[in-house]
Amino acid sequence: MIERILLFISLGGLVTSAIYLLLALIAAIRFRYVTPATACFGDGDLPLPAVTLLKPLYGMEPFVEQRLESFFQQDYPSFELIFGTRSASDPVMKVVDALRQKHPDVRVTVVHSGEPTYPNAKVHCLEKMTAAASNPYLVITDSDVHVASDFIRQVVGPLVDPSIGLVTCIYRGVPGGGLWSRLEALGMSVEMSTGVLVAELLEGMKFALGPCMATRRDLLAQLGGIRVLGDYCSDDFLLGQLTYAAGKRVLLSRHIIEHVAVNLSARTSLLHQLRWMKSTRFSRPLGHGGALMTFAMPFGLLGLAAGLAMGNWKLGFGLLCLAMLNRVVLSIVTGWAVVRDSDSLRFCWLYPVRDLLGFLLWCASYWGTGIVWRGERYQLIAGGKMARKSGLSRSARQSPDAAA
């Protein structure tokens, strides 16, 4: 009897994951071939406005010099870079100083924010950086992002339309080194990007993605300033929500950036991904719960167990193979065809492992309310808020690649 129940659950999950794959295929075609109707700066008589790039930093990370230099190499006539750190002693400042000397023509400002007054230390730093910005157009990017030379033109251009309040980007994951970093990068390129594309297809963009958020200073002022995000873990998600609630569109750019998976060890990588999962659980509880039905591998393994228990190994292995094929196709459709991640094609056979890992992290997200962020401990609260705890995590004390 129990094996039939397991078989029924397995079949149900495989059906929902197949529907999800179909939605991903439709969303991928839409993303690739349907361009949003927006005006761009540089078209006709529209001028190119001055732009401020805000880049909060924290510590040394893999490929940090190459990533930061990509922002110095923008093909754009008027922009400034503002780097923010908690203190002048942060070792990443040596990299910033070297790049300033290498690119003396780029206007650079450095802000040291001091100890945060909000639970979200990044928002505290961004508030100080925004105050130092001299331009009305602002682009916020994470420290672990690498961009092409036309990045500013692509993400700022649509903001000429006053109905658009925020532009954000999906990204392809770039492994920093090692198996765990590769698995996390695959999750960025496939799992994360698929979720965003399907959400845009079904309900439009009502959120933003932290690696890239382009907006206007006047909109931030209308929302109450960036300080309104200070108590929240998913500040990017909330900024998108507030923008949408204010009657402005959140646009998913067709421009794709690179996001480096900087966590090299199993512990730091899993802590990083678990923080993502838990923050989503508190910010979007219903959507996070429904994400269970988007996985394929746990239902394939459940089908294998049911088939073996029923003495029908062919059925069991067949269901497992269907689940694996589903994830391989998803890796190719989203990771390779959409975000142009060659690893998503070359290692598509590895993505079923990443899918199973994602499911285990999803399960773990319901265990406890604590997270580790930048080596510090926080407590998540209903509604997506968080409170800072005292003390560093063990990974921060023992590992150079502390959880980002």
> DSSP string covering 237-300, please?
HHHHHHHHHTT-EEEE-S--EEEEE---SHHHHHHHHHHHHHHHHHHSHHHHHHGGGG--HHHH
Closest by Cα among 66, 26, 350 to 189: 350
Query: How far does CA 208 lie from the centroid of its chain?
Result: 9
* Residue 196, H or E segment: helix 193-203
Instruction: DSSP for 36-95, please give it.
Output: -----TTSTT-----EEEEEE--S--TTHHHHHHHHHT---SSEEEEEEES-TT-THHHH
Do residue 122 and residue 235 come from a single domain? yes
Chosen domain end from 241, 266, 291: 266
Do residue 21 and residue 48 come from a single domain? no
Residue 399: the pLDDT is 39
Q: How far apart are the first and last CA of the chain?
A: 46
Residue 201: the pLDDT is 96
Do residue 294 and residue 256 come from a single domain? no
Do residue 184 and residue 329 come from a single domain? no
Classify residue 208 as left (phi > 0), alpha (psi -120 to 50) or beta: beta
Residue 400: the pLDDT is 36
Match 């089908």 to its residue by tokens. 303
Amino acid identity, residue 327?
R
**Residue 271: inside a domain:** no
Do residue 180 and residue 106 come from a single domain? yes
Domain with residue 70: its CATH number is 3.90.550.10
Joined tokens for residue 36: 């949003």
Go through 303-328 and write b for each residue having 16 or more CB atoms within 10 A of its CB, e for each that does not: bbbbbeeeeeeebbeebbebbbebbb
pLDDT in tens, the chain (404 residues): 798 999 999 999 999 999 999 999 999 999 999 877 665 554 555 678 999 999 999 988 888 999 999 999 999 999 999 999 999 999 999 999 999 999 999 999 999 999 888 899 999 999 999 999 999 999 999 999 999 999 999 999 999 899 999 999 999 999 988 999 999 999 999 999 999 999 999 999 999 999 999 999 999 999 999 999 999 999 999 999 999 999 999 999 999 999 999 888 999 899 999 999 999 999 999 999 999 999 999 999 999 999 999 999 999 999 999 999 999 999 999 999 999 999 999 999 999 999 999 999 999 999 999 988 877 889 999 888 999 886 544 444 333 333 34
Closest by Cα among 40, 48, 242 to 136: 48
Task: Evaluate whether 52 touches 79 at the Cβ level (below 8 Å).
Answer: yes
Residue 250's contacts (CB-CB under 8 Å, 6 or more residues apart) are 164, 165, 166, 167, 168, 204, 205, 206, 207, 208, 240, 243, 244
**Distance separating alpha carbons of residues 102 and 104, to the nearest angstrom:** 6
**Residue 8: inside a domain:** yes
**Residue 320: inside a domain:** yes
Do residue 121 and residue 156 come from a single domain? yes
Query: How far does CA 334 lie from the centroid of its chain?
Result: 15
Closest by Cα among 249, 256, 57 to 167: 249
Structural domain boundaries, residue 50: 37-266
- Strand ranges across the sheet with 386-392: 370-373, 376-380, 386-392
Do residue 360 and residue 221 come from a single domain? no
**Residue 48: inside a domain:** yes
Task: Evaluate whether 69 touches 96 at the Cβ level (below 8 Å).
Answer: no
Chosen domain end from 266, 299, 323: 266
**Residue 273: inside a domain:** no
Do residue 53 and residue 141 come from a single domain? yes
**Distance separating alpha carbons of residues 53 and 50, to the nearest angstrom:** 10
Task: Evaluate whether 377 touches 393 at the Cβ level (below 8 Å).
Answer: yes
**Distance separating alpha carbons of residues 215 and 206, to the nearest angstrom:** 14
Do residue 208 and residue 325 come from a single domain? no
**Distance separating alpha carbons of residues 233 and 275, to the nearest angstrom:** 9
For the chain, how many structural domains are there in total? Answer: 2
**Residue 146: inside a domain:** yes
Classify residue 295 as left (phi > 0), alpha (psi -120 to 50) or beta: beta
**Distance separating alpha carbons of residues 326 and 10, to the nearest angstrom:** 14
**Residue 379: inside a domain:** no
**Residue 385: inside a domain:** no
Do residue 73 and residue 54 come from a single domain? yes
Do residue 208 and residue 316 come from a single domain? no
Measured CA distances, 317 to 59, 140, 305, 396 (Å): 47, 47, 9, 42
Chosen domain end from 226, 241, 266: 266
- 3-state class (DSSP) for residue 404: coil
Do residue 232 and residue 87 come from a single domain? yes
Match 């492992």 to its residue by tokens. 353
